[in-house]
Structure formats: C-alpha cells, structure tokens
Amino acid sequence: MKITEFIKKELSGWQPFEIIGLAVVLVMILTNIFILKDSPAAVINAICGILYTIIAGKGKISCYFFGLMGSGCYIFLSFENALWGNMLLYLLYYIPMQVLGIFRWQKHLKKESGEIVKIKLTQKQNLILFLIGIIGCIGTIVLLNYFHDKSPIIDGITTFLSILGMYLTVKRAIEQWIVWMVVNGLSFFMWLSLVINGTKAYSTVVMWGVYFILAIYFYRQWKKELKN
C-alpha cells in the first residue's frame, strides 16, 4: 500500500464534532505551557496519548505510533513522581504490547476502510477476566506498598487493570473500554492529587479526564457497530 493511500485511510471517518473537540483539547493543553508552566514531557505525553486513544477508538493501526511516543514521556513523568507501578507498566509492558499490537491489528484490517474488525468476549471469558483482575489488583497493591509507592492502592489498581486493558486492546475486544473507564477515572484523581500537592503535570490531569470521556464514547460506538 502506498503511503498516501495509507494516510488517507487513517484520516477517514472523522466527524466534524470530533475534530472540533480534539482541537479544543489540544489548545487547552498547549496553553498550559505558557500559563501554568507545565512540564514539556507532560504536554507531549498528553497530546500523543489523546491522539492514540481517539485513533485506537476508530480502529486505526496508526494509533500505536502515537502510543509509543506518549509512553516514553509517561515513563519519565512516573519516574519523577515515584509512581513505580505505572513506570514499570509502560516500560516493560505497554511498549512491547504496542509493538505487538501493530502486527496483530495488521492481520485484522478491513480492506475498504483500514479499520480493525472488532470482537466481543464470551460470558466465560468475562468471568475469568474479572477474577484475574481482582486477584491481580490485590497482589499489585501489596507489592507497591512494600516498595513505598506514593499511591499504592490507586497505582496498584490502575497498573494491573491497564495490563488487562492493553491485552484487550491488542485483542480488539469491546470490553477494553470498560476497563479503561475504571483506569482513566482513578488515574485522573491520582494525578489531580499530585498536582494539588505541587507537581507540574496539569496536562496529564487533562489527559486522563479526556481519556475517561473517550472511553465512554468509544464503548458506545463499538457497541453500535457490533450490533450491526
């Protein structure tokens, strides 16, 4: 496939309100540099992260390129704020899984639109996933508490559920968006608490808030598509 044809497919399917909403959010994030003196890493991470989420929600494989760039910045931010769970998650799991996602998604693309073929898990798979999530979150919280993580409970839950969420993303399952709703909501309050206590990562708070809204939006979009 030619590069121009690939880019054309990746940019197709955008609604006017989606473009306007993205523009408003990007302006808000860029404004943080000048008004709130936000961290450059937080700004780059937020921009790449939001683009990744939107493009992933549209089922376009190019989302992983933004995901890899954003992950690098988020690793740096997590290291600075002693969020060891999130740091190791992105370094040892997110980056390898995103590389894997590129190859896995490439095998399940619709020729006409360049979007992935979406799936829904069975009841048995959902039950297994739920049990793994409960056990994994408890284990991660205990481990992070041992290493004196600043927010062991929230960091532990978001860390392990993010592992499940990324697995479901690569698997192309709609259930990923339910997991991301929990992860994004808790991450929003975790980073808001850090900002209130002096951390300059305002764009990261905006990013997680936007992530939460996008998770709800794309869950509804994928649900409609799977019904059809």
User: What 3-state class would DSSP assign to 172?
Assistant: coil
Contacts 24+ apart (CB under 8 A), 196-201: 199/81, 200/36, 200/37, 200/38, 200/39, 200/42, 201/38, 201/39, 201/42, 201/77, 201/81
Question: How far is it, in rounded angstroms, from Cα 167 to Cα 155?
Answer: 18
Provide DSSP, 101-125. Answer: HHHHHHTTB-TTT-BBPPB---HHH
Q: Which amino acid is at 64?
A: Y
Six-digit token pair at 214?
Answer: 């996008």
Residue 39 confidence class, pLDDT cut points 50, 70, 90 = confident
Contacts 24+ apart (CB under 8 A), 33-40: 36/200, 36/202, 37/200, 38/200, 38/201, 38/202, 38/203, 39/77, 39/200, 39/201, 39/203
- Please give the share of the chain, as a percent, with pLDDT higher than 70: 97
Is the four-CA dihedral 93, 95, 100, 102 of positive or negative sign? positive
* Per-residue pLDDT tens over the stretch 186-227: 989 988 988 888 877 788 888 899 999 999 999 999 999 998
Model pTM score? 0.83
**Domain range summary for the chain, segments of one domain joined by +:** 3-227
Count Cβ atoms within 10 A of the Cβ of residue 213 and give its class: 0-12 exposed, 13-18 middle, 19 or more buried: middle
- Please give the share of the chain, as a percent, with pLDDT higher than 90: 49
* Per-residue pLDDT tens over the stretch 100-139: 999 999 999 888 778 999 999 999 999 999 999 999 999 9
If phi > 0 it is left, if psi is from -120 to 50 it is alpha, else beta; for residue 219 that is alpha
Q: What is the pLDDT of residue 126?
A: 95
Closest by alpha carbon to 212, among 170, 171, 165?
A: 165
Mean pLDDT of the chain: 88
**Contact call for residues 224 and 63 (beta carbons, < 8 A):** no
CA distances from 224 to 61, 174, 182 (A): 21, 11, 21
